[in-house]
């Protein structure tokens, strides 16, 4: 039996991944939630989580959890869990800047015998090739002699109240077999769904990056089918519903592929593949298809507008939804912005309405100012981009009232019956 009673845990990065983790550990262990964003720490101290992943009651249950922006407070811990973002840059290359800075921070405080565990999505080898050397340089300690490492990829699904941290099986790994057992035991103590101990860190890294790559490719397939069926004059949703009657048909649907995982992770794998001399074809083909869907949606909306003799330049267009998925406030890497930019290139006037988003964050990230409430009878086209519950409850008749008499309604998410809208993906 591994003794975990003396473990003191620091979770570095308190976003969608880090906060739920810190809360669960804070119910059982001394835990420090660390973030460089003072406003984020202040809101958590007040018992509020703006990501809506953890409610006030859950925050209050983490009796042993404290928060800080002071790196010196990390010295009290002996297990450091890094949960910072791993985005891509404008050239679609991995941006390890947050991971580099977090590793340097750990390197300044780590002590002999301590363990650092990474949860951020990376390409195979990043933990030991990119992060660990930074810790060694900052600390003067030797890897797998003075300090140790683990990797346990996050599987958080923003906005999902059914599949939570504790109910999703957790992959774990360690830099030595013994440390792997410790890391596994630590997560097993909070994850009721159980754990899977991978043979080494690189296997765990690879497992994570292919989870979302597989989903990306499946969505790319149905997106390409939608492009084909549209040319054939066949309703894609009707085809998928018919095919779905077979027991082993996978229920993927066409749509925009954004967010911090599915639209990003494949580029980490393709980057590493190219680094070792292999040019991935299928993965990048899927990415190209998914990345063009925003432009495709606009092309279809414009065609319907022209058929009704609606002049596109100067037209008013309403987009319902900005987040990367339904019923959550997460706007990271949302592909709805592709639709906005494409419509702007036609000279259209675009309003975006999303009851889930923070207006200041939208302005900061994308230069967009969402409307507080759409005006009635104003719009020449309405695009339903995100399947928020509020839009379902609002109903199609109310949505149509936002438009003028000849308004085009395009339903990306197939919220409403095909015969009641003009087109859908």
- Among the listed residues 294, 214, 223, the one whose alpha carbon sits nearest the alpha carbon of residue 261: 214
Q: What is the dihedral of CA 205, 15, 7, 178, to 10 degrees?
A: 0
Residue 273, exposed/middle/buried by CB under 10 A (0-12, 13-18, 19+)?
middle
Selected catalytic residue, list 261, 328, 362, 407: 261
Residues contacting residue 73 through CB under 8 Å, at least 6 positions apart: 32, 34
Residue 379 φ/ψ region, left for φ over 0, alpha for ψ in the -120 to 50 degree band, beta for the rest = beta
- Among the listed residues 98, 136, 96, 95, the one whose alpha carbon sits nearest the alpha carbon of residue 116: 136
Distance CA 333, CA 87 (A): 9
Give whole-number Cα distances, 259 to 157, 228, 264, 266, 312, in Å: 10, 25, 8, 12, 29
| 46: phi then psi, degrees, rounded to nearest 5 | -85, 0
Tokens of 82: 């890094």
Distance CA 325, CA 158 (A): 8
Residue 175 near residue 182 (C-beta atoms within 8 A): no
Helix (H) / strand (E) element for 216: namely helix 201-232
Residue 198 near residue 210 (C-beta atoms within 8 A): no
Residues contacting residue 123 through CB under 8 Å, at least 6 positions apart: 94, 205, 209, 268, 269, 271, 272
Q: Assess whether 261 carries a catalytic annotation.
A: yes
Complete DSSP assignment for 320-363? E--SSSTTS---TT-THHHHHHHHHHTT-EEEEE-TTS-HHHHH
Radius of gyration of the chain (CA): 23
Catalytic residue IDs: 261
């Amino acid at each position: 039996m591994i003794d975990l009673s003396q473990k003191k845990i620091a979770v570095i990065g308190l976003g969608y991944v880090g906060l739920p983790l810190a809360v669960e550990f804070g119910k059982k262990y001394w835990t420090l939630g660390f973030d460089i964003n003072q406003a984020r720490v202040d809101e958590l101290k007040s018992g509020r989580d703006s990501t809506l992943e953890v409610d006030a009651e859950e925050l209050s249950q983490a009796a042993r959890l404290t928060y800080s922006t002071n790196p010196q407070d990390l010295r009290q811990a002996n297990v450091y869990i890094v949960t910072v973002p791993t985005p891509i840059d404008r050239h679609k290359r991995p941006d390890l800047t947050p991971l580099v800075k977090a590793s340097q921070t750990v390197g300044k405080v780590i002590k002999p015998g301590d363990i650092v565990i990474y949860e951020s999505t990376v390409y195979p080898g990043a933990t030991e090739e990119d992060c660990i050397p930074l810790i060694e340089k900052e600390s003067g300690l030797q890897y797998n002699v003075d300090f140790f490492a683990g990797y346990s990829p996050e599987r958080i699904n923003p906005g999902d109240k059914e599949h939570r941290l504790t109910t999703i099986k957790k992959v774990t790994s360690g830099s030595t077999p013994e440390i792997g057992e410790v890391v596994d035991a630590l997560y097993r103590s909070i994850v009721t769904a159980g754990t899977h101990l991978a043979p080494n860190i690189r296997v765990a890294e690879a497992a994570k990056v292919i989870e979302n790559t597989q989903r990306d490719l499946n969505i790319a397939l149905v997106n390409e089918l939608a492009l084909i069926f549209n040319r054939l004059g066949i309703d894609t949703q009707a085809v998928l519903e018919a095919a779905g009657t077979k027991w082993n048909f996978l229920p993927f649907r066409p749509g925009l592929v954004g967010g911090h995982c599915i639209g990003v992770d494949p580029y980490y794998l393709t980057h590493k593949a190219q680094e070792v001399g292999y040019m991935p074809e299928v993965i990048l083909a899927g990415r190209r298809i998914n990345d063009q869907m925003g432009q495709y949606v606009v092309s279809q909306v414009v065609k319907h507008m022209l058929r009704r003799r609606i002049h596109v330049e100067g037209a008013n267009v309403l987009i319902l939804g900005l987040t990367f998925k339904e019923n959550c406030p997460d706007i990271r890497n949302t592909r709805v912005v592709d639709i906005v930019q494409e419509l702007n290139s036609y000279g259209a006037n675009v309003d975006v309405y999303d009851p889930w988003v923070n207006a200041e964050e939208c302005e900061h990230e994308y230069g967009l100012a969402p409307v507080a409430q759409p005006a009635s009878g104003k719009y020449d086209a309405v695009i339903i981009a995100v399947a928020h519950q509020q839009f379902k409850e609002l109903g199609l008749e109310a949505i149509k009232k936002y438009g003028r008499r000849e308004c085009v309604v395009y339903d990306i998410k197939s919220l409403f019956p095909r015969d009641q809208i003009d087109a859908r993906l």
